[in-house]
């Protein structure tokens, strides 16, 4: 008998104490449930913005049942309040992601800086696969097509900056071991940094191919 009592006391001490459930906003609970159901398909920095049908209960302790139409974001759920009551709630859960959008109209050939953009939460399903969602991917890029204020930037609308333009005067840098020579040239193609560019050597009048290293500098290996 004494041993049974001792075991019961040990089991009671090891059992976790029951904690009262804390109420939370239903919109928060639904957002967490929708994100959990999305799982690995959840985009980085994505979140659900939830709007409840007017008149639905605002606070609850848990979601006991949940179903959502992924194509529209419409959902229905059962939530349990702190008093133990189960309420049916409905509404709209929209998956959004923060997207950089221009703060002004930006013309072709301009170089982009972070100051040109602001971050706006937009519905993920409306963006398409070509929208740029990272501000870091736009920093220092050159505009190819006009960027409209307040609209997402498409990947095909920007390009790494051109450091050598067609017709530019350049310095051809020849390196071989410790020897370095230079000669004037004129570019007959354009190139981004570290891309191949064709240049006329103005001394020999021959066309050579080199690597655009910086504005006005072309490295030639032969």
Task: Give domain limits for the chain.
Answer: 21-96, 97-159, 162-220
Phi, psi of 23 (to 5 degrees): -75, 145
| Model pLDDT for residues 7-63, shown as the tens digit of each residue | 332 332 343 333 345 668 999 999 999 999 998 889 888 999 999 999 999 999 999
Does domain 97-159 fall under CATH 3.90.1210.10? My reply is yes
Q: What is the predicted pLDDT for the residue at 9?
A: 29
Q: How many CB atoms lie within 10 A of CB 207?
A: 11
Q: What is the mean pLDDT of the chain?
A: 87
Res. 136 pLDDT band, cuts 50 70 90: very high
| Model pLDDT for residues 142-183, shown as the tens digit of each residue | 999 999 999 999 999 999 998 999 999 999 998 877 788 899
Q: What is the predicted pLDDT for the residue at 20?
A: 43
Q: Which has the closest alpha carbon to 131: 109, 178, 98?
A: 98
Fold adopted by 162-220 = SH3 type barrels. (2.30.30)
Asked if residues 167 and 190 have their Cβ atoms less than 8 Å apart, the reply is no
Whole-angstrom distance, CA of residue 206 vs CA of residue 204:
5
Sort strands 169-176 and 162-164 into parallel, antiparallel or unpaired.
Answer: unpaired
Q: Which has the closest alpha carbon to 38: 124, 142, 128, 103?
A: 124
Report the predicted TM-score, pTM, of the whole model to 2 decimal places. 0.68
Asked if residues 123 and 96 have their Cβ atoms less than 8 Å apart, the reply is yes
Asked if residues 76 and 133 have their Cβ atoms less than 8 Å apart, the reply is no
Q: What is the predicted pLDDT for the residue at 214?
A: 87
Say whether 162-220 and 97-159 share the same fold: no
Q: What is the predicted pLDDT for the residue at 40?
A: 84
């Amino acid at each position: 008998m004494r041993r049974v009592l001792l075991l019961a006391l040990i089991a009671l001490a090891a059992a976790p104490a029951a904690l009262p459930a804390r109420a939370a906003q239903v919109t928060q609970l639904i957002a967490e449930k929708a994100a959990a159901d999305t799982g690995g398909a959840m985009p980085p920095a994505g979140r659900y913005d939830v709007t409840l049908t007017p008149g639905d209960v605002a606070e609850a302790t848990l979601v006991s049942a949940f179903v959502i139409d992924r194509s529209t974001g419409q959902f229905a759920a059962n939530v349990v309040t702190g008093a133990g009551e189960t309420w049916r709630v409905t509404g709209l859960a929209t998956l959004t992601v923060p997207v950089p959008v221009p703060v002004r109209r930006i013309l072709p050939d301009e170089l982009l800086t972070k100051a040109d953009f602001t971050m706006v939460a937009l519905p993920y399903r409306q963006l398409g696969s070509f929208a740029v969602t990272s501000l870091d991917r736009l920093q220092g890029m050159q505009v190819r097509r006009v960027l409209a204020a307040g609209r997402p930037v498409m990947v095909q609308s920007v390009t790494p900056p051109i450091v050598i333009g067609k017709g530019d005067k350049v310095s051809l840098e020849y390196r071989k071991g410790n020897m370095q020579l230079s000669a004037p040239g004129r570019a007959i193609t354009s190139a981004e940094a570290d891309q191949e560019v064709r240049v006329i050597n103005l001394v020999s009048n021959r066309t050579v191919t080199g690597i655009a290293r910086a504005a006005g500098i072309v490295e030639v290996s032969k």
